[in-house]
Amino acid sequence: MHFIARCLMTALILASPGLPKTSGCCESPESTHQAGTRSQSGAAVPKAPATAPPLEWIDATTGHRVVRLSQDPGSSSLYFHQNAYTESGDRMVFTSRQGLSCYNFKTRNIELLAEGRVSGVIVGRRTRQVFYFKRNSVFATDLDTHSTREIIKGDKVQAANLDTHASQEVRLAELHSGSGLAVNADETLLAGSYTEGGDQRPASQPPTDAAGVRADAYPGKGEMMERRLAARLPMALYTINIKTGEVRTFKHCTDWLNHVQFSPADPGLLLFCHEGPWHKVDRIWTIRTDGTGLRKIHTRTIDMEIAGHEFFSADGRAVWYDLQTPKGKEFWLAGVMLATGAQIRYRIPRDQWSVHFNVSHDGKMFAGDGGGPNSVAAPGNGQWIYLFRPKDGSLSAEKLVNLANHDYRLEPNVTFTPDGKWIVFRSNMHGPTQVYAVEVTSSTRAQARQP
């Protein structure tokens, strides 16, 4: 009887009209880790809960409703600048131990799109396809029909080198040795960075937890960043024609090229970074896909100034980023308007600093995912999911989810659903990693307004 009662309760929760119906390798300033249980790999192993995490609850501190979207331990939402949503917001892609999955906001069902390990995941908003690497192939899978095609496959491809105007041979394994994939605004091109030779990287893979989720901030990451920057490995950017599979390479150099992102508005504009310890690199750059127009977005002006975790505004007009002048002292959410070069700076109090920030599709709200006890803003930073609203040149902050039990070796990576009503994040606050969404409107305030 108890089992039947639990099943009925679960069914009632899932049928609740309050659930969401419609609608997101770098250096993190996180350089150390929290104390706790570790696997032999050194990764955090959250204590397994006696029961499954709740499907829905009201955060007792903030009054905001939180919903668990995933079902299986080890499920994870995408990195904060990798688009996971269709344009209408009816579907969201995430990863699980089974492979690549899709959450349907209309039916609340989870659909398996691809079995096994994938990487470089990005969703094309308009064509409703998800693009990804799997083994020595680049695939596109339709989110509605699940039909899949290989865009390119094989051990090697011929690529046009835009710097030398010659043809070069590139191994497919090289193309996912850097950052990617990104998809452009008209969904004709994919892009990324790669290490020439592909297997020359000196850094080992980050450790995984018991559910197979890789740590973002882990012991020794700072030393790895120093070694990798000093190695000066040959790298380049590339594009892949989605229709034909044609590969083009450009920006061949020995800088560490990472975090490749396409403009949401300009099909030929890429944002990327010079990776490394943030105080040693001029990090944030844009370039055009023909190799022209290289532009530095932010120049450091004082010792130990850092800027990073950059991302486009949804309309493509601005690039936003975390700025600290200097590191760990003064905190800003900074932006540059691409058309004019005008700079915007919103001061962030230490207790509201976040590992990652993000912006809503209408540009009226920002979100942050807080920081752990060993972050660059510690002591004094908060472990919360934050909502920020610009007002009179500053930001007003609201706490949405208490992350006191979250281990920040896994970074939450906040993203807004396209309608701006929910913020999606990943968390291990109940044990193994799961995907959650928090409602932007406070449930307690909404209830108070009811007659």
Mean pLDDT of all residues in 273-283: 94
Q: Tens of pLDDT along 108-122? A: 999 999 999 999 999
Contacts of 189 (CB under 8 A, 6+ apart): 183, 239, 240, 241, 242, 262, 267, 289
Q: Is 284 helix (H, G, I), strand (E, B) or coil?
A: strand
pLDDT at 41: 31
Answer whether residue 286 shows pLDDT above 80.
yes
Q: What is the Cα–Cα distance from 367 to 230, expressed in whole angstroms?
A: 34
Q: What is the Cα–Cα distance from 230 to 197, expressed in whole angstroms?
A: 17
Who wins on pLDDT, 42 or 439?
Answer: 439
pLDDT at 228: 86
Mean pLDDT of all residues in 426-438: 97
274 and 301 Cβ atoms separated by less than 8 Å: no
Who wins on pLDDT, 304 or 205?
Answer: 304
Mean pLDDT of all residues in 246-261: 97
Among candidate residues 199, 182, 209, the one with its CA nearest the CA of residue 124: 182
Tell me what the pLDDT averaged over the chain comes to.
Answer: 87
Answer whether residue 68 shows pLDDT above 50.
yes
Residue 51's pLDDT band, with cuts at 50, 70 and 90, is confident
Strands of 137-142's sheet in order across: 119-124, 129-134, 137-142, 148-153
Q: Does residue 83 come out as left (phi exceeding 0), alpha (psi in the -120 to 50 range) or beta?
A: beta
pLDDT at 116: 95
Mean pLDDT of all residues in 219-232: 83
* Opening angle at CA 57, ends 54 and 63, nearest 5: 155
Residue 206's pLDDT band, with cuts at 50, 70 and 90, is low
The fraction of the chain above a pLDDT of 90, given in percent, is 76
The fraction of the chain above a pLDDT of 70, given in percent, is 82
Answer whether residue 39 shows pLDDT above 50.
no
Residue 444's pLDDT band, with cuts at 50, 70 and 90, is low
| Residue spans of beta strands (DSSP E) within 44-98 | 56-58, 65-68, 91-95
pLDDT at 24: 33
Answer whether residue 443 shows pLDDT above 80.
no
pLDDT at 451: 30
Answer whether residue 34 shows pLDDT above 50.
no
Mean pLDDT of all residues in 188-192: 98
What distances in angstroms separate CA 298 from CA 268, 281, 305, 322, one per listed residue? 21, 11, 11, 11
Q: What is the Cα–Cα distance from 416 to 359, expressed in whole angstroms?
A: 7
pLDDT at 201: 47
Answer whether residue 12 shows pLDDT above 70.
no
Phi, psi of 390 (to 5 degrees): -65, 135
pLDDT at 204: 52
238 and 247 Cβ atoms separated by less than 8 Å: yes
